[in-house]
A and B are shown apart, each in its own frame.
Chain A
Amino acid sequence: MTIQITINGNPCSSEAGESVLTIARREGVEIPAFCHDETLAPYGACRMCLVDVVSGPKKGVTTACTLQAMDGLEIITDTPEILRLRKVLLELYLAQAPKSKTIKALAAQHGIKKTRFAKKVHPEDPLQGQCILCGLCVRVCRDIMGAGAISYIGRGQFTEINTPFYEENDACLGCGACAQVCPTQAIAFEDITGTRVMKSWSETKVPLKQCAACGNYFAPVPFTAYAYEKLDPAIRDEIRDLCPDCRRKEMTRKAILLRAEGVGR
């Protein structure tokens, strides 16, 4: 059902129940958010997407990501109160992740250069002092990849994200989805001849697959197994064990041969 909502005085149409953050972004209204990803359910953890509901069933400040659109809803994204709250949040984030360039940049945009709060400084932090605990990596690993290799450890101000027992975890597919979704680029991994080392996840080691044609390492073995599992068997048999480059060459060669049929090789 199509409904009308109002963002900063401008009417927008959307589907009922859609996340207000999604609608705002589609309409070109900039709302910062760290813990949101369209592939995952709204989480409301980072609190950056706070907006003011001026007309709706429950007026007041709430997170846009978890706010579901309904007819007649009216929100404002940049009231002085929202900006004030956002500045406090950024100060808290500067303390939680003092090394993060993303946080520093957004804070600077809001005129925040310093934080009143005690900075977390751990020289050996596997997340390089950049983790803001948004939970995207935990959720993408568990909910999308189905691996659940990492999770929160402890609670309160001492919460960390890592593998269970801070040990190498063979549940890790080595896919790197965690690093991909991380809003602060806190997660590090490195490919060292035939092995992917998940540096942030207790040095978990995942073997890399060699291309059957060129011999280059191109993807982690458990991740390719996961991907092949999801593929149509015919396609799976066609691409198995080939790296993207060789696959492309192979496909092109086949296509050319098909066209040139009759001409001979």
Chain B
Amino acid sequence: METARLNEIVESYPTPTGKILGILEQVQREDGYLQKDVLKTLAEKLEVPLSELYSIATFYSFFTLEKLGRHVVTVCMGTACHVRGAPALADTLKALLKVEEDETTQDGKFQLTTADNDFTVTSARCFGACSMAPVLRVDNKIFGYMTPERIPAVLKQFGWEEDTHQNA
């Protein structure tokens, strides 16, 4: 994000308090993630410690510190989806998109982005769509009653091609 744009966002908030979340949200919407440099600049501008911004950014699952792919595929790992086969969906996605598992954090969450930056696979706790478990979300579209067999068809809607990825 350009510094000028960041200034604009900061200045759009007249009150000194309660603006951090709003600013971070706007930055995330425009950049797709919170860049380290942007957080550092912001800490100086708002005169809050960088540690506080980092704390907020890691507290809310809405924020991400890593660049996401153009499409975000979220596997619901809620109880209903889990018992109806969500882990198999996650494994299939990882295999099809050829992303490695080494980034899984201790809480079992993962956020994996393909080398060409087209897709990010991640997990969520519950979408509240348990009646059509297991569910998958691509960007803002929900796909219910998912099976590993149906995943390639879903991905193709978002520009995924089996062969190019295999050669890549």
Contacts and interface: CB of A to CB of B under 8 A. Distances in A.
Size bracket of the B interface: 10 to 19
B94 to A, nearest CB: 22
Contacts of A147: 49
B99 interface: no
Interface string A31-71: 00000000000000000000000000000000000000000
B52 A148 contact: yes
Nearest to A155: B59
A169 B50 contact: yes
Interface in A141-163: 142, 147-155, 157-158, 163
A158 B107 contact: yes
Contacts of A169: 50-51
Interface residues of A, number: 17
A148 B49 contact: yes
Contacts of A154: 58-59
Contacts of A163: 51
A164 interface: yes
B104 to A, nearest CB: 13
Contacts of A165: 36, 54
Contact of B54 (A142, A153, A155): A153
Nearest to B50: A164
Most B CB contacts (10 A, CB to CB) among A142, A151, A163, A164 go to A164
A171 interface: yes
B106 A142 contact: no
Nearest to B59: A155
B140 interface: no
Contacts of A152: 55, 59
Interface string B146-167: 0000000000000000000000
B53 interface: yes
Interface in A120-179: 142, 147-155, 157-158, 163-165, 169, 171
What are the 3 A-B residue pairs with the smallest beta carbon separation, nearest first? A148-B49, A164-B54, A151-B51
Interface of B: 36, 39, 48-55, 58-59, 105-107
Interface of A: 142, 147-155, 157-158, 163-165, 169, 171
16 contacts: A142-B49, A142-B52, A148-B48, A148-B51, A149-B49, A149-B51, A151-B49, A151-B51, A151-B55, A152-B59, A158-B105, A163-B51, A164-B53, A165-B36, A169-B50, A171-B49
Given A148-B51, A150-B51, A164-B39, 16 more contacts: A142-B51, A151-B54, A152-B55, A153-B54, A153-B58, A154-B58, A155-B59, A157-B107, A158-B105, A158-B107, A164-B53, A165-B36, A169-B50, A169-B51, A171-B50, A171-B51
